[in-house]
Copies of this chain bind each other. A is one copy, B any other.
Amino acid sequence: MASKPVWEQIGAGFVQHYYQQFDSDRTKLADLYTDASCLTWEGVGFQGHKAIMEKITSLPFQSIQHSITAQDHQPTPDSCVMSMVMGQLKADTDQVMGFQQTFLLKNVDNKWICTNDMFRLALHNFGA
């Protein structure tokens, strides 16, 4: 049986862990970011562990559930792993919404951390 490439295992493992933590207790995401990490959330930028966790923990919903539609992973020339996720989420009693998120993962001190994170709700206008 052919095993998956290592970058795919790393990316898929991160993605599973990230959304599991996000949906159950998002304060635990703190371990994934460092002071060099960047988050862009709906077009607004946050730099560093403290600012990122303040943003994530202050998001205005009580419960959230992500489901992943598709995920892609690639190795980068600098030995990082880039992961792109497409999915749907349901926050509190709001309607289901699509989202997209991209992560760049880097091995620092023998641990994979998230150096770059971009999130957008998928709001398309297919009108004429």
B122 close to A74 (CB less than 8 A): no
- Mostly, the A contact residues are strand
Contact A69:B124 (CB < 8 A) given known A40-B74, A82-B102, A100-B86: yes
Question: Taking the full assembly, how many copies of this chain does it contain?
Answer: 2
Interface residues on A, range: 20 to 34
Closest to A106 in B: B77
For A102, the chain B residues whose CB sits under 8 A away are: 82, 84, 102
What would 14 more interface pairs be, CB under 8 Å, given A76-B104, A78-B80?
A: A40-B72, A43-B70, A43-B72, A69-B124, A69-B125, A76-B80, A76-B115, A77-B106, A78-B78, A84-B120, A86-B122, A98-B122, A98-B124, A122-B124
